[in-house]
């Protein structure tokens, strides 16, 4: 009798437990229920760019604490095509503080061209000396860099390529005070001068080497002084006789504050490849659709910038909240007008097209002045396939 009662109790408990288990399983998502994240993947991890993206100038400086903005920008790039619905999340690093040089990128972001192309783009501003290395390893998806720097990176084994050119004319040149008493008619006239460069690498330095070579001079014929990004101050204070700079910026700044300068354009003597959008070989190979979307949207914005600079200016000036005076804003508008002179598309070619001959000139030049110590195949530094297919 007791045994029968005990068995009956066990059967009742089993029935109750089975009912509870059935109720619990009904609350879990089925195989057909969409989930918002893959629990096996860390938040923010990316098959395209899984390491931290480019840091801002504050974050890269060892002597300055990171600002809240720099801290936020240090997060990893998100996974391509993961969250945000069907949008592919990518990062574009401009490699510099907000400037009119990147107006097309800012315009594409503001007007939703990237989103319309199927992208969730984060634009990161700020100086980053390791930008190309980070692009090459997948830490940053896309970045803005110059052709001469791409060649140097390729020589060092960094697998990056330019997929769209933003500046079709090399905007680097030399400026000096108009009332300095000096006359520079040709690069040969630089002999004996003290010339400022931002640093002993990069476009201002390479531009100086190009002028020296054009004047049949060497570095021993001049004094080279590193001045950071203080070209106008260094020249006006006569700390140097002349300075290498971006011609779309400093001559305009000088004029707007009443300082008259003369200039020597590097592009008049040698055609070096200038700024463009760069990505990794792995991005091109594994995610050509993402590359095409970035190029499509940026080309669209570039064409609009060329036709309607006011909108490009509006999108860019919003990224410069420190500029409150109308005079300062007008200076930036003048800088954009000057910038556009260096961004005109090459005749009979699509916007963003980069000239193969200029790449050969660039690689040959950098080898001749010992910036690179090995031969670099210029065709490995760029591709025009995406701009030629741009919609």
Q: What is the pLDDT of residues 245-293, one digit of tens each?
A: 999 999 999 999 999 999 999 999 999 999 999 999 999 999 999 999 9
Check residue 84 and give its pLDDT.
52
Question: Residues 332-349: what's their mean pLDDT?
Answer: 96
CATH architecture of the domain with residue range 57-169+273-388: 3-Layer(aba) Sandwich (3.40)
Residue pLDDT, tens place only, 121-147: 999 999 888 999 999 999 999 999 999
For domain 172-268, give the CATH number.
Answer: 3.40.190.10
- Comparing 1 with 97, the larger pLDDT belongs to 97
Task: Write down the residue that tokens 């390529």 correspond to.
Answer: 161
Within the chain, all domains assigned CATH 3.40.190.10 are found at: 57-169+273-388, 172-268
Question: Residues 30-54: what's their mean pLDDT?
Answer: 29
Check residue 28 and give its pLDDT.
27
């Amino acid at each position: 009798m007791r045994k029968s009662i005990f068995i009956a109790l066990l059967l009742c408990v089993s029935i109750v437990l089975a009912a509870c288990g059935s109720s619990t399983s009904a609350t879990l998502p089925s195989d057909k229920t969409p989930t918002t994240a893959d629990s096996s993947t860390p938040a923010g991890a990316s098959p395209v760019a899984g390491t931290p993206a480019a840091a801002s100038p504050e974050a890269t400086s060892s002597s300055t604490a990171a600002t809240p903005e720099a801290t936020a920008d240090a997060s990893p790039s998100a996974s391509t095509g993961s969250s945000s619905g069907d949008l592919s999340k990518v990062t574009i690093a401009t490699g510099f503080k907000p400037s009119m040089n990147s107006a097309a990128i800012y315009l594409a972001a503001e007007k939703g061209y990237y989103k319309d192309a199927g992208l969730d783009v984060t634009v990161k501003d700020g100086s980053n000396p390791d930008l190309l290395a980070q692009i090459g390893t997948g830490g940053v998806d896309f970045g803005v860099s110059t052709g001469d720097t791409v060649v140097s990176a390729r020589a060092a084994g960094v697998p990056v390529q330019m997929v769209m050119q933003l500046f079709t004319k090399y905007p680097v040149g030399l400026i000096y005070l108009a009332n300095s008493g000096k006359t520079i008619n040709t690069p040969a006239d630089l002999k004996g001068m003290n010339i400022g460069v931002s640093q002993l690498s990069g476009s201002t330095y390479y531009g100086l080497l190009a002028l020296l070579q054009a004047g049949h001079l060497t570095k021993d014929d001049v004094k080279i002084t590193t001045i950071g990004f203080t070209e106008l101050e260094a020249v006006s204070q006569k700390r140097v006789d002349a300075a290498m700079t971006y011609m779309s910026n400093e001559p305009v700044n000088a004029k707007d504050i009443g300082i008259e300068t003369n200039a020597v354009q590097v592009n008049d003597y040698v055609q070096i490849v200038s700024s463009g959008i760069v990505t990794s070989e792995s991005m091109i190979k594994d995610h050509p659709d993402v590359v095409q979307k970035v190029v499509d949207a940026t080309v669209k914005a570039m064409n609009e910038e060329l036709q309607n600079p006011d909108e490009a200016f509006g999108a860019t000036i919003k990224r410069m909240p420190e500029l409150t005076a109308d005079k300062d804003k007008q200076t930036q508008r003048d800088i954009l007008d000057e910038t556009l002179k260096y961004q005109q598309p090459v005749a009979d070619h699509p916007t963003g097209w980069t000239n193969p001959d200029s790449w050969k000139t660039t690689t040959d030049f950098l080898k001749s002045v010992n910036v690179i110590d090995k031969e670099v195949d210029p065709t490995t530094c760029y591709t025009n396939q995406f701009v030629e297919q741009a919609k």
